Amino acid sequence: MSYEKIIILYCIYKMNGERTIYSILHLLKGKKSSQTIQDIHVFQLTSLFQTYPSLTREHLNEIVQQLVEEEWIIEVVENYYVINKTKKMEVESLWIEKPFPDYLKGWDFHPFTTAFWEKLSLFVQVVAHLSEQSVSYIPIQRNPLIQAWLKRTLLSIPLKKKELNKQLYEELITCLEGSSLDPQILINRLTGWNKVGLTAEQTSILLQKEKFEYQIQFLSLLHYMMDTILLDKNKYLLLSYMIDWDQNHYTITTSTAKTLALLNKGMSIEEISSIRRLKISTIEDHLIEILLNVPDYSAEFFVDQKKIERIKNCMEKSSSKSLRIIKEQLTDVSYFEIRVVLSRYGDL
């Protein structure tokens, strides 16, 4: 069983026939739609967000077809699949044999991961050459924004250039030694003085891992590093420069941020819809996204407490996160109100 098949099976298992397989495509590719953002929270799949950006619709269809032929899953309605009941125990054992890395936090860190890796890899290369007084090399990262960041950062660090390499080495050792993942997942990718880092594919071959399994572990190690650094910035003088983290940052789309600004002024859904010239349904999508990502807002801002309890009770009794099924049982409750409660209590 390939690692990508295990991941797809896990998503199907969690969604349990309540979303199409293309919802899985959107979450793994990291589509920032309100529906996808709601799905990853409701079905507890936030860790996998944007972990497979190269996945195509065609390849997903191939994997799903293989899983059907191998009798792992059953199609209940077109494009809606559930785990074959006779295979449930085998499916669950797969996640024991090949568990997901504990540190994977796709949703939390997706806005910062690429930049962190680009900064880290370029910083390692540059300080390694500085320590050898070498100026003849081709930068491993060609992104002009990352190169400009490095120039500014080197000028602002309160250390002598000859001290940087030793300091960075010690910080990396301290940071990586706390992880249960093999540090070679990262170290083999780094370019230094007289050493060229391997590509992701070369490293996966060297470590005898499937390409996708390696990708997941590489992301997980980067997420672990960022988490560790942010917990104690004073301990990581150099590494902390590489994370653009704002404690007031909310992982929301640009359009939703505009809606949030108006919501913070006390405006109603109707008023925001009118001012922004957007459909009420679009504003409602934004509000769901806000609920999922902005701690200051709770379900009670948008739904009466009695309705919240009724919706929660319905969810518990039916064991379903389907809007249609809940709506059929609570005719006086709107779809938006159900979505609000699902957003906050979807893991019941």
**CATH code at 296?**
1.10.10
Note whether 53 and 133 are same-domain residues. Answer: no
How far is Cα 35 from Cα 19, in angstroms, rounded to an integer? 11
Residue 19 sits in the same domain as residue 74: yes
Q: Cβ atoms within 10 A of the Cβ of 344, count? A: 22
Two tokens, residue 2: 């390939």
Specify the pLDDT at position 252.
78
- Do residues 214 and 313 share a domain? no
Residues 121, 230, single domain; the answer is: yes
Q: Are 273 and 279 in contact (CB under 8 A)?
A: yes
Report residue 43 as tokens.
Answer: 């079905």
pTM: 0.83
CB atoms within 10 A of CB 151: 9
**In this structure, is residue 286 part of a structural domain?**
yes
Q: Indicate whether 78 and 187 sit together in one domain.
A: no
For residue 135, the enclosing domain spans 113-242
Whether 218 is covered by a domain: the verdict is yes
247: in domain: no
Q: Mark whether 89 and 165 lie in a shared domain.
A: no
> The domain spanning residue 63 has which CATH number?
1.10.10.10
Identity of the residue numbered 235: K
Burial bucket for residue 341 (CB in 10 Å: 0-12, 13-18, 19+) = buried
Residues 80 and 154 reside in one and the same domain: no
* Domain-located, residue 165: yes
248 inside domain: no
Task: Single out the residue in 208, 242, 276 at which a domain terminates.
Answer: 242
121 domain residue, yes or no: yes
Residues 195 and 279 in one domain: no
What single DSSP character describes residue 198? P
pLDDT at position 345: 81
Which domain-ending residue is among 242, 266, 288?
242
Return the half-sphere exposure (C-beta side, CA atoms, 13 A cut-off) of residue 146. 19
Q: Are residues 264 and 220 in the same domain?
A: no
Domain count, the chain: 3
User: One-letter amino acid identity for 278?
Assistant: L
274 with 326, same domain: the answer is yes
9/69 same-domain check: yes
Question: What single letter denotes the amino acid at residue 43?
Answer: F
What's the pLDDT at 218?
Answer: 97
The predicted pLDDT at position 246 comes to 57
Q: Specify whether 118 is located in the same domain as 231.
A: yes
Whether residue 108 is contained in a domain is answered as: no
The token pair at 67 is 């899983």
Per-position pLDDT tens, the chain of length 348: 899 999 999 999 999 999 999 999 999 999 988 789 889 988 999 999 999 999 999 999 999 999 999 999 999 999 999 999 999 999 989 988 888 888 999 998 988 899 999 999 999 999 999 988 888 888 999 899 999 999 999 999 988 888 999 999 999 999 999 889 999 999 999 999 889 999 999 999 999 999 999 999 999 999 999 999 999 999 999 999 999 765 555 677 788 889 999 999 989 999 999 999 999 999 999 999 888 888 778 888 889 999 999 998 888 887 777 788 888 889 899 999 998 998 888 764
249, part of any domain? no
